[in-house]
Amino acid sequence: MLNHLHLSNVGLAPDLRINWAPRINLVTGDNGLGKSFLLDLAWWALTRTWAGAVALPATSAKKPTLGYGVQGAGSKATKVESEFRRADASWPLPAGKPPMPGIVIYIRIDGGFSVWDPARNYWRTDPGRPSAYHFQAPQVWDGLDLNGQRVCEGLERDWVNWQQGQKPQFAALESVLRALSPPGEPLRAGGAQRVFIGEGRDRPTLLVGGQTVPVALASAGVRRVLALAYFLVWAWHEHREAARLLGKQPEERLVLLFDEPETHLHPRWQRVILPSLLAAIDSLRGDQSRAPQLLVASHSPLVAASLEPLFDSAQDDLMHLGVHSGQVLVRQGLWAKQGDATNWLVSDIFGLEQARSLDAERAIEAAEAFMRGDKPLPKGLDSKAAINRQLQRLLAAEDDFWPRWLVETGALPSVGSSSPPKAKPARKARQ
């Protein structure tokens, strides 16, 4: 597993250190501050390969360095530090075999996947062995060739081969799909069938209600989850098969890097995707296996809220990237239960003042200023009547702000508008 990352004069921060928890790590922060960049660096530290472009420090950066610690089967992490070499745009690393972190899977935001397999990328010593397996989005479905060798048939062909051959991979795929399914809508495999005229192969399908839907025509959210399920099964079973051929004991440890798991998913699915992922891994490996390490970057309050029943500060962490005095800093150990997604939105993690539209937020801020007696008030919201009209236009009748506004100002809705109901309990205070 990954123990820590230390960036010096790399990226947007002059000095940044993250100590990774052994199980769940949720990375939050605004766009453009480096969450995906941290996952790219974590992949490099774990596998000594790049899933995309090599990290390039600014030309003005003095002595840019990347440090990390990877823990293998032993109890201590091996510390490594690399200084960027501008002559060949590389990050030199010590010679010799590094610690082996287990199977590493990177679910990228662009629809691609990267897989690092100890049996195929570490234990092998032949000169033709690949450093890792990197799939662009189309290769997830159509397969991957490396150096003239077919290394993966892709989701659709493997699915059909596993299903028609009644292989254990298909039973594992069905189990993982059940675990990853959205509430009340199980992902069930249908029979393979021809889909496109003139094509000489069958394609996999899903049973959706009373209909059969080819996976090639499924929605973007369903396809991303299908790809996730497929790569969990493919990486796990291919590792075990390669270990058998090498006469090695297969590896049980697993590290997953997941960039924005909420992408394309409905809120009902967002709030279960990470717990479902852990359940899917358990169904694949068996409950006796040690917990995987998850490094997850997310913008979703529902993803954060979904972890409340699972979170254990002894083995999990929530971290936030923010800008302070013009520099990107990371804060760790920030976990605090918020109770619901709205409270997460207005927490320090996501930083909204209110979980409403921007216009409604401005109207309420003007109302707050009016009740405090502040002057001047915003243009267009500079009287009680103007504020009241805007609140009626923007707020729902049952909004929690109405009782306070009506009691403190005596304002009443205009004729013909719906009257606000009785006050509801105030939401939990922002932390």
- Helix %, strand %, coil % for the chain, to 5? 35, 20, 45
State yes or no: pLDDT of 154 exceeds 60.
yes
List the domain range (segments joined by +) for residue 208.
140-252
Mean pLDDT across the chain? 90
Q: Which of 225, 252, 279 is the last residue of a domain?
A: 252
Q: What confidence tens digit (pLDDT) does each residue in 73-94 have?
A: 877 888 999 999 999 999 999 9
Give domain status of residue 14, yes or no.
Answer: yes
Could you tell me the pTM of the whole model?
0.90
Within 10 angstroms of residue 257's Cβ, the number of other Cβ atoms is 25
Kindly state whether residues 298 and 228 are assigned to the same domain: no
Please, which pLDDT band fits residue 412 given cuts at 50, 70 and 90? low
Kindly state whether residues 161 and 223 are assigned to the same domain: yes
C-alpha dist (Å) from residue 350 to 109, 208, 327, 336, 354:
20, 35, 18, 13, 11
Q: How far apart are CA 388 and CA 15, in angstroms?
A: 49
Kindly state whether residues 341 and 383 are assigned to the same domain: no
- How confident is the model at residue 4, as a pLDDT? 95
- How confident is the model at residue 387, as a pLDDT? 94
Q: What confidence tens digit (pLDDT) does each residue in 346-394 have?
A: 999 998 888 889 999 999 999 999 999 999 999 999 999 999 999 999 9
Assign 14 to helix, strand or coil. strand
Give domain status of residue 228, yes or no.
Answer: yes
Kindly state whether residues 227 and 153 are assigned to the same domain: yes
Kindly state whether residues 245 and 321 are assigned to the same domain: no
